[in-house]
Amino acid sequence: MTPASRWRQWLPDFVLLGLIWGSSFLFMRLTSQEFGSWSTAWLRVSVAWLTLLPFLLWQGQASSLRQHWRRILPMGVVNSGIPFICYAYAVMYISTGMSSILNSTTPLFGALIAWVWLKQRPGGSRGLGLLLGFAGAALLALTLPGGISFKAGGSGWAVLACLVATTCYGLSTHYSQRYLIGVPTMTIAAGSQIGASLALLVPGIWFWPSVWPSDSAWWSLLMIGVVCTGLAYVLYFRLIAKVGASRTMTVTYLIPLFANLIGVVFLDELITTWGMVCAAMILSGTALAVGLLKLPD
């Protein structure tokens, strides 16, 4: 197979995954406005594991889940439960575009955690990438309309929620690399959603909205659970099998693009020049921090 044919084979899945995860911020906004953050997160992971379960059974991995559930289920709380609560909360108070840009700091926190936890000291390019990426995130947060506020429902808490979510993603990535090596990917995907669903069961029911959500909110929930979580995992792992994990992770760069465009079209959000400058800083820093770009010697 020629390089051009391989490129055509994986690129559609790559772009589709970026579009799906970029659209998830819109559906989170539409869902959480009526369900609230706790119930949105609980229903999202519940719908996701119900979507993934047939794939798990079809691939004959039920026994693998029974064998590894003690390590997989807790990771689901960190990998899905906490981040989904955080983003469901954040998109109610800041734009979906900004939330997606802050989401792109995930590899930065992964590199920082590897430095602190695993003692993987970054070199010159990666160290500069960490500084550049976090500086971009700080400048983006400090220039929010109306400024940063930590009053109830303030933008400051929303930004902090996004950063807590990306920290959790970084932690779960290193946890899986250390403790889940050799476990089938579909087992991890389905099992982590089951773990998050069990952890969020009580608060999800406790904070159930007093007014029954509209049909449009339910449809948004199904989209975010089935498509943006369940089926996206299937697509994600198929890409890993085709092109490897490192190349698949670069989908991070497409998510803010699609999320901002969708926010403009469907939510009348604005794309500012300063926001794009900060986004460029974050993405460039991320590329340096994960080794996709390197400074000349």
pLDDT by residue for the chain (297 residues), tens only, comes to: 555 455 566 678 888 988 999 999 999 999 999 999 999 999 999 999 999 999 999 999 999 999 999 999 999 999 899 999 999 999 999 989 889 888 887 777 777 777 776 666 766 777 777 788 778 888 887 776 665 667 776 788 999 999 999 889 888 877 887 888 888 888 988 999 999 999 999 999 999 999 999 999 999 999 999 999 988 888 887 777 676 655 666 677 788 889 989 999 999 988 888 788 888 888 887 777 767 677 765
Closest CA to 146 of 197, 95, 189: 95
**SS3 state of residue 149:** coil
Please give the backbone phi and psi of residue 158, each rounded to the nearest 5 degrees, phi first. -65, -45
Q: Nearest 5°: phi and psi at 267?
A: -120, 5
- Are 233 and 49 spatial neighbours (Cβ–Cβ below 8 Å)? no
161 CB burial (10 A radius; 0-12, 13-18, 19+):
buried
pTM for this predicted structure: 0.87
Task: For residue 214, give the DSSP letter.
Answer: P
